[in-house]
């Protein structure tokens, strides 16, 4: 893995749908460009270009430079206030799990006082600084102090895992942040605080195969690993409910890093949906000929159009045995994780699209720790292997 040459690097190309999703995080949800760049693994320059391209700058906009001295002073004041508000939002985001009890808020102040001023943290958490100092003076055993400190970081790790992490992933999150403790202790403290991972769903069959479709040989034979990126992909389709009907989701995952390299949604489950996910993966990853592309025997994957596109990419098609979900276990596992952690009912088709972009591109690819790759996120795993 580490012997890959730097010349193998390919500058990623992003689909219009990906760019639109990234712009929406900035424009509609108000996230900072730097934050979104980190979450998606995209350069800030590219993000700014996408935002500019998404809408023309009005002539009276502050960025046009046509401002009076008083307007510039007011803009500077607003920017200063915005920086303070941004800091407080960061504090609140990190401390979201600790509002239930005042003692936990004080514990958060103690844990984060090196990051922000104590009075700023107290103001953001709506506790008094005097109360915090009084809390500090109360006698407490060393073990209890350490448990209290750990609970702060455990709840923060659980929150960063969007409430889905059990003790193994919470322990990995703590370890990655330089906090040394045992997994058993993490499990005990999580039980004390009523923090649990979300239980996995049972597998449900969603594949509709075409008895007349072309069937490819099973090249993986349940060997779900790869020595390098873009040498073996797996794909599948699932459905999600909304009042308008169904939102179908097609995905392509890289077996090397478990990263979702291509995905698409549609109100209909057809070849066009599967092709959209494949084309996104091909555009973003630019795989070399010889890639193994594994799916079940669903009719979209057996269609002439899909097989033609694989031939154009130089990919070798592989298919599961009939009715054997274990032959495509990685895709099935991903869908189980997604429906457990994100849910499978949405307000509308557009709501599903918006939330899926955030879950897949921001959380799953960029943050969520995966047990198959040493409890790292797919994007971090690929960076280390580059």
pLDDT score, position 107: 82
Question: Residue 310 pLDDT > 70, yes or no?
Answer: yes
Helix (H, G, I), strand (E, B) or coil at 316: strand
* Weakest-pLDDT range from 42-51, 212-221, 268-277: 212-221
H-type helices in the chain, by residue range?
16-27, 33-40, 44-54, 69-94, 102-112, 118-125, 129-137, 142-160, 167-176, 183-192, 271-285, 299-302, 304-313, 329-341, 349-357, 378-385
Q: Distance (Å, rounded) from C-alpha 186 to C-alpha 154?
A: 7
Mean pLDDT of 230-258: 94
Going by C-alpha positions, the residue among 165, 193, 194, 174 that lies closest to residue 370 is: 165
At residue 212 the predicted structure's pLDDT band, cuts being 50, 70 and 90, is low
Question: Residue 1 pLDDT > 50, yes or no?
Answer: no
pLDDT score, position 60: 40
Residue 248: strand pairing partners: 239, 266
The CA-based angle 339-342-343, given to 5 degrees, is 55
pLDDT score, position 94: 66
SS3 of 204-256: the string is CCCCCECCCCCCCCCCCCCCCCCCCCCCEEEEEEEEEEECCEEEEEEEEEECC
Going by C-alpha positions, the residue among 208, 202, 219, 107 that lies closest to residue 153 is: 107
**224 near 258, Cβ under 8 Å?**
no
Q: Kindly tell me the burial class for residue 247, based on how many C-beta atoms sit within 10 Å of its own C-beta (0-12, 13-18, 19 or more).
A: buried
Q: Distance (Å, rounded) from C-alpha 157 to C-alpha 160?
A: 5
At residue 98 the predicted structure's pLDDT band, cuts being 50, 70 and 90, is low
pLDDT score, position 62: 41
* Whole-number Cα distances in Å, 119 to 3, 88, 128, 182, 200: 50, 11, 8, 33, 42
At residue 239 the predicted structure's pLDDT band, cuts being 50, 70 and 90, is very high
**263 near 356, Cβ under 8 Å?**
yes
Q: Distance (Å, rounded) from C-alpha 261 to C-alpha 285?
A: 7
User: Per mean pLDDT, which of 136-145, 158-167, 236-245 is the most reliable?
Assistant: 236-245
* Weakest-pLDDT range from 92-106, 146-160, 370-384: 92-106
pLDDT score, position 334: 93
Q: H or E stretch including 318?
A: strand 316-319
At residue 67 the predicted structure's pLDDT band, cuts being 50, 70 and 90, is low
Domain annotation for the chain: domains and CATH numbers: 1-55 (1.10.10.10), 232-356 (3.30.420.10)
Mean pLDDT of 151-159: 86
Going by C-alpha positions, the residue among 195, 192, 113 that lies closest to residue 161 is: 195
Mean pLDDT of 177-195: 86
Mean pLDDT of 23-46: 86
**Which is it for the CA torsion 259, 261, 267, 269, positive or negative?**
negative
pLDDT score, position 254: 97
pLDDT score, position 32: 85
Q: How far is CA 87 from the centre of its chain?
A: 23
328-356 pLDDT per residue, tens: 999 999 999 999 889 889 999 999 999 99
For the chain, the residue count is 386
Question: Residue 9 pLDDT > 80, yes or no?
Answer: no
Helix (H, G, I), strand (E, B) or coil at 266: strand
Question: Residue 187 pLDDT > 60, yes or no?
Answer: yes
**Which is it for the CA torsion 290, 296, 300, 304, positive or negative?**
positive
Question: Residue 208 pLDDT > 60, yes or no?
Answer: no
In the chain, the percentage of residues whose pLDDT exceeds 90 is 35
Mean pLDDT of 183-197: 85
Q: Kindly tell me the burial class for residue 5, based on how many C-beta atoms sit within 10 Å of its own C-beta (0-12, 13-18, 19 or more).
A: exposed
* Weakest-pLDDT range from 95-104, 127-136, 212-221, 343-352: 95-104
pLDDT score, position 77: 72
Question: Residue 64 pLDDT > 60, yes or no?
Answer: no
Average pLDDT, the chain: 83
**338 near 131, Cβ under 8 Å?**
no
Question: Residue 7 pLDDT > 50, yes or no?
Answer: no
pLDDT greater at residue 297 or residue 96? 297
Question: Residue 105 pLDDT > 70, yes or no?
Answer: yes
Going by C-alpha positions, the residue among 262, 256, 261 that lies closest to residue 223 is: 256
pLDDT greater at residue 87 or residue 295? 295
């Amino acid at each position: 893995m580490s012997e890959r040459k730097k010349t193998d690097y390919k500058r990623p190309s992003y689909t219009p749908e990906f760019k639109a999703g990234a712009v929406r995080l900035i424009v509609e949800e108000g996230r900072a460009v730097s934050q979104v760049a980190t979450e998606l693994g995209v350069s800030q320059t590219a993000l700014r270009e996408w935002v500019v391209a998404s809408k023309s700058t009005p002539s009276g906009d502050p960025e046009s430079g046509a401002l009076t001295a008083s307007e510039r002073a007011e803009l500077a004041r607003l920017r200063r206030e915005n920086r303070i508000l941004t800091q407080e939002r960061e504090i609140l985001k990190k401390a979201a799990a600790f509002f239930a009890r005042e003692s936990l808020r004080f514990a958060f102040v103690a844990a984060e006082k090196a990051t922000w001023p104590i009075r700023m943290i107290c103001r953001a958490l709506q506790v008094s600084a005097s109360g915090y100092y009084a809390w500090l003076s109360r006698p407490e055993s060393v073990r209890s102090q350490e448990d209290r400190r750990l609970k702060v970081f455990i709840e923060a790790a659980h929150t960063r895992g969007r409430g889905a992490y059990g003790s193994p992933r919470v322990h990995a999150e703590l370890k990655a942040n330089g906090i040394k403790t045992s997994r058993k202790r993490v499990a005990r403290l999580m039980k004390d605080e009523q923090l649990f991972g979300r239980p996995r769903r049972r597998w449900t069959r969603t594949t509709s195969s075409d008895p007349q479709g072309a069937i490819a040989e099973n090249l993986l034979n349940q060997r779900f690993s790869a020595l390098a990126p873009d040498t073996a992909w797996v794909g599948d389709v699932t459905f999600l409910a909304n009042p308008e009907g169904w939102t179908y989701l097609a995905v392509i995952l890289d077996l090397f890093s478990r990263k979702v390299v291509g995905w698409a949604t549609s109100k209909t489950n057809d070849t066009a949906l599967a092709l959209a996910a494949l084309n996104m993966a091909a555009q973003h990853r630019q795989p070399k000929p010889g890639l193994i592309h594994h799916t079940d025997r669903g009719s979209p994957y057996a269609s002439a159009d899909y097989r033609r596109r694989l031939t154009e990419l130089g990919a070798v098609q592989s298919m599961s045995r009939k009715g054997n979900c274990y032959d495509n276990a990685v895709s099935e596992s991903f869908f189980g994780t997604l429906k457990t952690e994100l849910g499978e009912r949405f307000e509308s088709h557009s709501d599903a699209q918006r939330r899926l972009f955030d879950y897949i591109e921001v959380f799953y690819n960029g943050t969520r720790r995966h047990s198959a790759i040493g409890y790292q996120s797919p994007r971090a795993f690929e960076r280390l292997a580059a």
